[in-house]
Each structure stands twice: as C-alpha cells, then as structure tokens.
Structure 1
Amino acid sequence: MKVDVKTLAAKDAGAVDLDDAIFGIEDVRADLLQRVVKWQLARRQAGTHKVKERGEIARTKKRYGRQKGGGTARHGARSSHIFVGGGVAHGPRVRSHAHELPKKVRALALKHALSSKAGSKTLFVLDDVDMKAPKTKDVRKALANFGGGSVLIIDGDEVNANFALAARNVPNVDVLPAQGLNVYDILKRDALVLTKAAVEKIHARFGVEGAA
C-alpha cells in the first residue's frame, strides 16, 4: 500500500510503499495481541513481593499453653499463621512472572498491531524528525497534525536528540528507536507515527526485499 509522507511542517514529501504482509492484514487477531501484551507486562513485573512465613518469624518455639485441660489445641509454636504476629500461610514469594512465548507468535502479533493502526487510518509517515533546537512548542505544533493526542513516534537506529528532548515534555507522547518497536506501546497510543528510516528498519526486520 502507498502512504503519503509528510514533513514536521505538514508539507508533502512524496509517498512510501508499505508491505501488505506487515501493514495490510485485514483480519486483525485480538487474541494474538492479548497474548503478547500479557507476555510483555509479565516480563516487566518486578516480582519482589514477599511476606514472612512461619520459619522466618522470630518467636519462641516453646509449647504454647497446657498439654491438656486448656480447652484448645496443643500448639507447638507461636509462629503459626493462626496467631496474631505469626507467619503468613502460602504468601507471595520473590519470583519471576515471565513466561515463554514463541518468537513467531510475537512477530505475527507485531504485524497485526501495525496493521490495526494502518487499517484505522491512524498510521502516519514522516520524512524525518530532525530538529535544530529542542523546542517543545514546535513538537506540539507538529503533533497537532496527527490528532495532537496520544502518539507513539518511531525513528530509525537512533532518535534525533533534539526531538527526543522536546517531545519528552509533551504528555501522552512516546518516542522510540525502531529497535524498541513493540505491541504494547503501539496499542497504548491512539496514533502511530513512523519516519521513513523506521519504515526501512521494519521492512528489514521482517525480511522484506527492496525496503522503501
């Protein structure tokens, strides 16, 4: 498919060919997107939650109460979870929440995420995002051409330093290099803006010959 290319000043800068196998999937599978989003969020989760269990409570191990005649069970320690101040039974432990997901599933989900933006007409292509000075006012003005709301901007190998500095002051705007492109961030924002360099990197990532 052909998509018009704009400059930061909203002027025409030609057109670019987007591969239909990456950006033209019509039947976008929500189940794939959901699996990858869960996989990403699970990998981000710290897993540092922890409570003290019975063996970690510093309380006496002396028998509590009388052996007989007390009217209660014969408790052997005050660190039991049934007493106030005792250990927690089956509480959370420090662990990793990450789980495996096939690479082919992750790659396919990324294609579906890109296609969802292209299909909803919220995918835009810029010539570049180079700026001579880090001025947030200029970034706000440029992003107004793409709805001015929640936007994810993807550049090439590296993001222009001045643009990155200016954009980080704008709420609901994320700027990433092409290597950082992922399903969660694409779905998190309303619009997706790619530079021509980003398009080339995406095509190369999926082995498309003759990247635009």
Structure 2
Amino acid sequence: MKVKVLNLDGSAGKNDIELSDDVFGLEPRADILHRVVTWQLENRRGTARPTRERSDVARTGKKFGRQKGGGTARHGDRKAPIFVGGGKAHGARKREFEQSLNKKVRALGLKMALSAKAKDGLVVVDSLDVKDAKTKALAGQFKKAGWGRKVLVIDGEQVDQGFARAAGNLVDVNVLPAVGANVYDILKHDTLVLTRAAVEKLEARFALPGGSN
C-alpha cells in the first residue's frame, strides 16, 4: 500500500512510503477490536480494596461481662461491628479486574486498528522536527492541515522533544513513542499521524516472532 508523505501543516512532502499489507492492509473485525479494548481498559482498573470484616479483625473473643445483671446487652466478642475497632458488617470485598488475552489476539488487534486508520484517518509525515517549538505555532499547523479534533501522533524510538513540548498544551493531541502504540488510543482519535520512523518500528515489531500489542 503506497501512501503520500505529508508535512505537519498538511502540505505534500517528499516521496511516498510503502506500507506493509500485513500490518496496514487487514480487514478490521469488530469482535477482535472489542476484545482487545476491553482487555486494555479492564487491566487499567486498580484492585478494589477490601474492608476488614469480623473474621479479619484481631480482637479478644473473651466474654467481657456477666451474662445477666450488668444492665447492658450481652456480648462475648470485641470483634462485633458495634464496637470501635471491630470488623465492618457487610463490608466491601476484594475485587480484581485483570484479564488475560492471547498474545496473538493482541497483535492482531493492533494490526487491525492500524488497518482501520489506513482506510480512513492515517497520515504519514517525514518527521516531527519543528522550527518553532511553540504551542501556538504547532496549533496553527494542525489547523491548516485539518486533521480533525482528536489527533494521535506516534514517533519512532523516542518522541522529538521539541514537538512533545509544543504539543503538551494542545487539547486532544496526544503523542506516543512507537512502543506505546495501542488499540484503544488509536481508535479513540480521529486521525493517526505516524512518522517514517514509527512505520519502520511498527512493521519491524510484527516482523519478529511473537510481536504483539
């Protein structure tokens, strides 16, 4: 698949780039994308912290008063919920949300997300080098390019520091290195912007045995 390389302002760049059909030319499947996104979001959730119930509290079980004649209710355990330091009645239970997902399915999901953007919403730029690393200047370039409201920019090994600094205050513009590419972030943005270095990294990632999300 041949794609034109653009500049950050949307103007035509130098040469074209050939994208691998094995990574950018698949037919997206909603069920695979849904499984991977669900796996990502569930694994982001923290463990629900439990409260200590009656059986979890270390307090005396010795009967501390007479059965009758004390003028109070008859108790035989300081772990009861009505006492300070006692266990909580019907407290929250520990819940873990981690899910497992086959590595091949995660890899397939990422390739399908990239392929979905290649059909509509993928832009390839030569690099992220900016002469004026200012937020206002970069915002003007993005507005001129007309890439939509939400833009995800993925660079190669590391994100260009000047670009990252300029994009830091732009609402709905997110920047990631190639190693951070993931299905959820790709799908929730209107436009995916890849540098040449990012394309090379992503294609090399899937060329390796077991390359995955």
TM-score, with normalisation over the residues of structure 1?
0.80
Amino acid aligned to 1:207 = A
Instruction: Identify if the C-alpha distance between structure 1 residues 64 and 123 changes in structure 2 by more than 3 Å, giving closer, same or farther.
Output: farther
2:130 maps to which residue? 131
Contact map agreement 1:146 1:191 (CA 8 A) in 2:
no
Residues 32 and 80 of structure 1: CA distance in aligned 2, closer, same or farther (over 3 Å): farther
Residues 5, 52 of structure 1: CA spacing in aligned structure 2 closer, same or farther, 3 A cutoff? same
Contact 2:178–2:201 at 8 Å: present in 1 too?
yes
Cα separation, 2, equivalents of 1:134 and 1:88: 58
Residue segments in structure 2 that go unaligned for 5+ positions in a row: 69-73, 209-213
**How many equivalent pairs are there?**
199
Identity %: 49
Give the aligned partner of residue 211 of structure 2: none
Letter in 2 for 1:123: L
Residues 10-51 of structure 1 deviation map (CA, whole Å, 9 limit, x = unaligned): 32122111112221223x111111211122222222215232
Residue in 1 aligned with 2:186?
186
- 1:159 is paired with a residue whose SS is coil
Are 1:51 and 1:88, in contact at CA under 8 Å, matched by a contact in 2?
Answer: no
1:91 has 2:92 as partner: yes
The 5 Å alignment of 1:131-150 reads 131-144=130-143, 145-150=145-150
> Alpha-carbon deviation of 1:128?
0.8
Q: Which residue is equivalent to 1:25?
A: 26
* CA drift at 1:181: 0.5
1:124-179 deviations in whole A, cap 9, x for unaligned? Answer: 11111112442011221222214341011000111110100111100111100111
* Equivalent residues of 1:37, 1:183 under 8 A apart: yes
Instruction: Please give the secondary structure, in 2, of the residue aligned with 1:206.
Output: helix
1:101 matched to which residue of 2?
101
CA contact (8 A) 1:123 1:192 kept: yes
Counterpart code for 2:117: K
Q: Which moved more, 1:17-26 or 1:161-170?
A: 17-26
Q: Aligned-pair distance for 1:185?
A: 0.8
The two structures, once aligned, show a CA RMSD in angstroms of 2.8
| Bigger mean CA offset, 9-18 vs 184-193 | 9-18
